[in-house]
Amino acid sequence: MNNYYSNVYWHFVGSPEDMDWSEIYRPSDIIINGRQTKSDDTCMKILKSIIQTNKLLAKSTIRFDEFETEKFCCVTDIPIQNLKEHTKYYGNCAIGFEANTIYCSNFQPVSYIDSYYPIVNERIVDNYNQSNQYQSIPKSDVKKNNDISYKNSKSYYDKKFIKKYGQEALSFIKPTIFSTNQEDTFYREREWRKIGNFEFGPNKIASIILPENYFYEILEFLITKNIKDVPILTWELLENI
């Protein structure tokens, strides 16, 4: 396997409850203010539900001003050797699907854009400060009678984008910060999304990854559902390879 994309696309089941993804621009934002990923027990319940129903539910949306994307579900194209670092944001259980299953199921790769895009005439952010963090001008200060005109505002160009490309296109766009610090950018996650639920057959599960102490529980569950030949991996195993 090459080292820059995966032949298995992964869905993590443990991101914190009640996330407003419209306010999240980098992985480290996910667990700020005391947010915690779902417990391993909760992740196991969700994982079993996905396997039993053969379905990933579309639950996520992102707002762009007054516009909101359609609900979508998602997977990530990350090589297996890099998966462990994502557990602190998305929980300790993941289910994988073969790449061709994703390609044939109306998933599309996400387009990542600067969280303060667009850059038109004047950029509505200051230059990077010394800590390399963007400093934005509050929306309340972007008015027609200010030095920065309304037509240079993010809101104005978001609306023009909506008018031209429609709500569906927004479902495949993710604002982020571009940074060399992996905790500050979603770009490295290589997300793919599908509008609506993802329904799959039991033979389409490529693999499952979970903590070692849940190995026999998920094995027994698969046996009871007559699901065979699904490799079960553990984080402990991967760390020792």
pLDDT (tens digit per residue) in 156-179:
555 665 555 566 777 888 888 899
Looking at the predicted structure, is the pLDDT value of residue 124 above 80?
A: no
pLDDT of 42 reads: 97
* Alpha carbon distance 23, 81 (integer Å): 29
Residue 158 lies in a domain: yes
* Alpha carbon distance 29, 5 (integer Å): 25
User: Is residue 65 located within the same domain as residue 102?
Assistant: yes
Residue whose structure tokens are 């400060």 = 129
In 3-state terms, what secondary structure has residue 64? strand
- Residue 145's domain comprises 114-166
In the chain, what is the straight-line distance between the N-terminal and C-terminal CA atoms, in Å? 15
Looking at the predicted structure, is the pLDDT value of residue 122 above 90?
A: no
In this structure, of 40-54, 63-77, 133-147, 200-214, the range with the lowest mean pLDDT score is 133-147
User: Is residue 197 located within the same domain as residue 118?
Assistant: no
pLDDT of 113 reads: 87
pLDDT of 151 reads: 46
User: Is residue 222 located within the same domain as residue 161?
Assistant: no
Amino acid, single-letter form, for residue 207: S
pLDDT of 67 reads: 76
Residue 201 lies in a domain: yes
| Mean confidence (pLDDT) of the chain | 81
User: Is residue 59 located within the same domain as residue 155?
Assistant: no
Task: Specify the DSSP element, H or E, that contains 156.
Answer: helix 154-170
Residue 213 lies in a domain: yes
Mean local confidence (pLDDT), 67-85: 89
Residue 121 lies in a domain: yes
Total tally of structural domains belonging to the chain: 2
pLDDT of 241 reads: 76
The DSSP 8-state label assigned to residue 58 in this structure reads -
Mean local confidence (pLDDT), 58-73: 85
Looking at the predicted structure, is the pLDDT value of residue 228 above 90?
A: no
User: Is residue 198 located within the same domain as residue 214?
Assistant: yes
pLDDT of 127 reads: 34
The rounded Cα 227 to chain-centroid distance in angstroms is: 27
User: Is residue 120 located within the same domain as residue 218?
Assistant: no
pLDDT of 4 reads: 66
202 or 126, higher pLDDT: 202
